[in-house]
């Protein structure tokens, strides 16, 4: 059975490139973020070096959001969340209602059915 691993190849290639260029930037006494940024430029579709699969961008974006939410969740305690429930729950319900009504109004105004 033939297996393809473009997502894994893109992630590993990007991380290795970012690590190496981040270390190089650090040795040159500049911020490692400059190296990470340069790694992104080099791995992008507009340079003749390693080119990441641009069709994987949505998958990588979802993975980034998942990791971000996981990281944010690590900093919250259940006690802190329960202390704001009297504000958060009505606020969330109001936000859902307003967004739904605005979406319905916009679709009605544009003639969508």
Give the tens place of pLDDT for each residue, 15-66: 999 999 999 999 999 999 999 999 988 887 777 766 666 777 788 888 889 9
DSSP character for 30? Answer: S
Write down the pTM of the prediction.
0.51
CA atoms of 63 and 96, how far apart (whole Å): 25
CA atoms of 73 and 66, how far apart (whole Å): 10
Model confidence pLDDT, tens digit, residues 64-101: 899 999 999 898 888 988 999 999 999 999 999 999 99
Spatial contact of 13 and 56, defined as CB atoms under 8 Å apart: no
């Amino acid at each position: 059975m033939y297996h393809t691993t473009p997502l894994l190849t893109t992630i590993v290639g990007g991380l290795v490139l970012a690590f190496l260029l981040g270390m190089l930037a650090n040795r040159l006494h500049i911020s490692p973020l400059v190296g990470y940024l340069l790694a992104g430029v080099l791995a992008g579709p507009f340079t003749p070096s390693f080119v990441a699969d641009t069709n994987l961008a949505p998958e990588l974006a979802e993975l980034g959001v998942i990791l971000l939410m996981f990281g944010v969740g690590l900093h919250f305690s259940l006690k802190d969340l329960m202390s704001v429930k009297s504000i958060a729950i009505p606020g969330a319900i109001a936000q859902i209602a307003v967004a739904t009504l605005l979406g319905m109004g916009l679709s009605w105004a544009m003639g969508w059915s």
